[in-house]
Structure 1
Amino acid sequence: MAFRSVGTNLSREYTDGVLGLAEDLEALERSGPDFVEVWPQNLGVILGGRLDTNRLRAVEGLLLEADVAYTVHAPLEVNLMDLTSHGLQRDVLDASLRFAKYIGAGVVVCHAGQRMGARDARYSMGDQLSAERSALREAGDLAGELGLTIAVENYYPEQPILRGEVYDYSVWPSQLAEQISAVDHPRVGICLDVGHAALAAGFFGFDLIEECAGIAPLVRHVHLHDNLQRTNLTGEPQVSEHTVFGLGDLHLPPGMGTIPLEDVLRRMDFPEKPSCCVELSPESFSLVPEALNTARELSLALAAREPLSV
């Protein structure tokens, strides 16, 4: 297979209890994923940058009872370019790493840093990027001690970026690769989000296949999902409205959108087989079994270099 393992994400929130968590884990277990990607913020296990040990005990048993392995997605708002609260940002990432160790996860995904309009005007972009590199090296050292890999994810042109309120260099995968290459840490690589890359390519005009192929040596984890490659220029309506118009980051099962997934992945020569998370929206929870099968078929076809209609 082209991927080392194929799993899916646990995308719902369980901060008000654990009953729903047990039911969803059981349903996912029946779907047969190699792993489940969990978000500590959706489980309520981090409070103020530290692990909440009481809450951790409440969910740890359920997670470990399920017959699945795990990866972890650190909170979406972690921003290692934020110099106004840099220590807190590091604390949250470190807590995510320690949570991953508790549940036996091997990969922790985090988003690349962002420059936030007026808040960051006092800082140079160079200083912010340098701060992110230093933080990732330090986090990489901790990841090494814990037996983990950090995978930094590329982003897409969402509304704050389109309005010019936020600058995110990682919407260009090649720029993310430059930053991670400069970090130069064996425990820090890239999470290629194919759906994000497709939206960014459509809006900014770069070649999706070439851009993704160029970062393959650094990819340690893949987020695989589909969309219609239509940037949402109309605001931030409900997810149901996104779907009606086919706008934005839909997180559809592979094959339900228009991204040339096979063409993208076929050009990627991974020195290390990455893990692959089929990252679906909560609305697609019932489609997990079918989506996993599609991803595995794609992985097998890529390994054999045989064409597959996806």
Structure 2
Amino acid sequence: MQFHIQPPAIRASGYSLLEGSPEFDDVGAGLDEAEALGVDVVELPVYAWHLVVEGRVLGDRLKDLQRALAGRRLGYSVHGALAINLMDLPERLPRHEKVLAANIEIAAAIGAEHLVIHTGFVRDAEDDLEVAYSRQRDALARAGDLAAARGVRLCVENIFRFRDARETATPAKLAGELAAIDHAAVKATLDVSHAYIRCTDARIDPIAEIAALAPHVAHFHLHDSFGRPNEKRASDLWLYHPAEAVAFGEGDLHLPIGWGGIDWDAVVGAVRPAPGAVAIMELNPAHWRELNSQIPVLQALAARFQPAPAPAAVG
């Protein structure tokens, strides 16, 4: 009798590097730390580094980054520009796509398998929401073709309504959008804390929502919070300092895993991605002293996720 051993749900885990110098001249020290901690992969904050000017990649600086990353045993993922918004108004959309194309070029050049971008959001009061979602689907399909040609997987991260955003996708809505696109190079980054915050805002069940997104997940962002929005629309608290937000448990805190109120048992039970996902811990720099003790916590949590069942054989 033959037994089929399914690959693990999460095959590699690590954390996001600190943004550091905009010239990334301190990235070597960050990689030294990651190698010493024994992680598999690090996520590079490309959004914070001076590599792109008006959608054009600066070739000399990209070569500098390639040299800085060469010869390491680490794998890499890339967090692209946070300002990319594929639901923006038509007159601005080409600029977003141009910066996204530059981010894809950078990810491919350094051998990063995953490029993370945020799902879009709508601010304009007159914009039709379903038309904006349609713009994003079309733009993601185009970007997926470009990413696939470069050997990169685009991972769309769920976010929450921040600042003056009218709309951004809940995890289940994002799942529906990705299913409609149905592109092998366009998957999801599940940010569990973001999901809790968005679902608190919408007064919906976060576990049901992330379960809906699970089939599309190729990449995780793992960090803790209490799932409370701290935007003006959702909070009555006035907070002066970021440390006060932590003290009151408000907002997107990026706490060490276990410090917040996320029900990780329920999350593990609800989320069964396809085998081979990557898990990245995004730790607030204010809590960097916890990094060393958090690595085994991250690795233990990642090991608990179970993969989606393999499709039944036909015939």
TM-score (norm 2): 0.87
Instruction: Using the TM superposition, name which of 27-36 and 133-142 deviates more.
Output: 27-36
> Would the aligned equivalents of 1:224 and 1:278 in 2 still touch at CA under 8 Å?
yes
SS at match of 1:180: helix
Offset at residue 71 of structure 1 (A): 0.3
> Would the aligned equivalents of 1:278 and 1:291 in 2 still touch at CA under 8 Å?
no
- The 1:108–1:236 alpha-carbon spacing in structure 2 relative to 1, beyond 3 Å, is farther
- The 1:65–1:285 alpha-carbon spacing in structure 2 relative to 1, beyond 3 Å, is farther
Offset at residue 21 of structure 1 (A): 2.1
Within a 5 Å distance, the mapping from 1:124-203 to structure 2 comes to 124-158=128-162, 160=163, 165-170=164-169, 172-203=170-201
SS at match of 1:117: coil
1:223-254 deviation line (CA, Å, top 9, x unaligned): 11101223212467442232222210011121
Correspondence 1:98 to 2:96: no
Correspondence 1:242 to 2:245: yes
> Would the aligned equivalents of 1:6 and 1:277 in 2 still touch at CA under 8 Å?
yes
Correspondence 1:274 to 2:280: no
How far apart are the structure 1 equivalents of 2:100 and 2:134?
A: 17
How far apart are the structure 1 equivalents of 2:239 and 2:104?
A: 31
Offset at residue 50 of structure 1 (A): 1.5
1:179-222 deviation line (CA, Å, top 9, x unaligned): 11111111101111001011222232211111111221111111
- The 1:256–1:92 alpha-carbon spacing in structure 2 relative to 1, beyond 3 Å, is same
Which residue is equivalent to 1:116? 123
Pairs aligned (count): 294
Counterpart code for 1:89: H
1:132-176 deviation line (CA, Å, top 9, x unaligned): 111111110111111111111111243x2xxxx312332x11111
Correspondence 1:254 to 2:243: no
Offset at residue 303 of structure 1 (A): 4.2
Which residue is equivalent to 1:293? 296
Offset at residue 280 of structure 1 (A): 1.1
SS at match of 2:10: coil
Offset at residue 72 of structure 1 (A): 0.6
Instruction: Using the TM superposition, name which of 22-31 and 103-112 deviates more.
Output: 22-31
Structure 2: stretches of 5+ with no match in the other structure: 1-7, 308-315
Correspondence 1:32 to 2:38: yes
Question: Which of residues 29, 34, 39 in structure 2 aligns to 1:23?
Answer: 29
Question: Which of residues 107, 114, 123 in structure 1 aligns to 2:114?
Answer: 107
Structure 1: stretches of 5+ with no match in the other structure: 305-310
Offset at residue 271 of structure 1 (A): 2.7
- The 1:110–1:17 alpha-carbon spacing in structure 2 relative to 1, beyond 3 Å, is closer
> Would the aligned equivalents of 2:24 and 2:65 in 1 still touch at CA under 8 Å?
no
